[in-house]
Chain A
Amino acid sequence: DVKVTQSSRYLVKRTGEKVFLECVQDMDHENMFWYRQDPGLGLRLIYFSYDVKMKEKGDIPEGYSVSREKKERFSLILESASTNQTSMYLCASTTSGEGTDTQYFGPGTRLTVL
């Protein structure tokens, strides 16, 4: 079974703090993704990575950065958290190549920025 884990289920931070969200997958997947989920907006892609040290912007990268130093780990960084970044953050991974792109999701981190 593919397992994707996220470092925290719930996180409360203050405006201006630097926030790290960690994601680890154990299936040697090349591709990893960070989404945020907001009611009525569905999932929106923040950043994704095709390989170690590779990153590409998704649809809403502003205010976020990412780090992929090891294949299994993909970190999302909020350099200076703001209240509009209060959301559910979901990490996912998938393997490369043509064929289904089934995404395997972690349980999510619910971040509240006060």
Chain B
Amino acid sequence: GEDVEQSLFLSVREGDSSVINCTYTDSSSTYLYWYKQEPGAGLQLLTYIFSNMDMKQDQRLTVLLNKKDKHLSLRIADTQTGDSAIYFCAESGPSGGYQKVTFGTGTKLQVIP
């Protein structure tokens, strides 16, 4: 089945940029997502990218997609302590059914003041 992989931890200093990486296996993935989970809460969609796009920017967030390598990244500029959370990469597409989303293991981002 589909697989989505991420590193488990990332630690950055406040004000630096954070880059969270993700790889996936399903070449037919149509949408790729980044979700954020703050402590004690459910997941919340941060942004998504359609598979025919290479990049999407939304304020401090930049998503890069390398479809050939099946690699997705999320860059957070000027990282703040409020960005400390777990970030999940996810994908959906026809092979899993459009409504079914496959999530990665999550990357815990720690921002050091």
User: Bound state CA distance, A103 and B92, in angstroms?
Assistant: 11
Determine how close the nearest CB of chain B comes to the CB of A35; give it in whole angstroms.
8
As a 0/1 sequence over residues 61 to 100 of chain A, the CB contacts with chain B under 8 angstroms (1 = contact) are 0000000000000000000000000000010101011111
As a 0/1 sequence over residues 33 to 50 of chain B, the CB contacts with chain A under 8 angstroms (1 = contact) are 101000011111100100
Count of A-B contacts with CB under 8 A?
Answer: 57
User: Bound state CA distance, A10 and B42, in angstroms?
Assistant: 13
> Please, which residues of chain B bring their CB within 8 A of the CB of A31?
99
Count of B residues near A, CB < 8 Å? 23
As a 0/1 sequence over residues 20 to 47 of chain A, the CB contacts with chain B under 8 angstroms (1 = contact) are 0000000000010001000011110100
User: Bound state CA distance, A98 and B93, in angstroms?
Assistant: 9
Count of A residues near B, CB < 8 Å? 26
User: Bound state CA distance, A107 and B42, in angstroms?
Assistant: 4
Determine how close the nearest CB of chain B comes to the CB of A12; give it in whole angstroms.
17
| CB-CB under 8 A for A42 and B103, given A100-B48, A101-B92, A101-B98 | yes
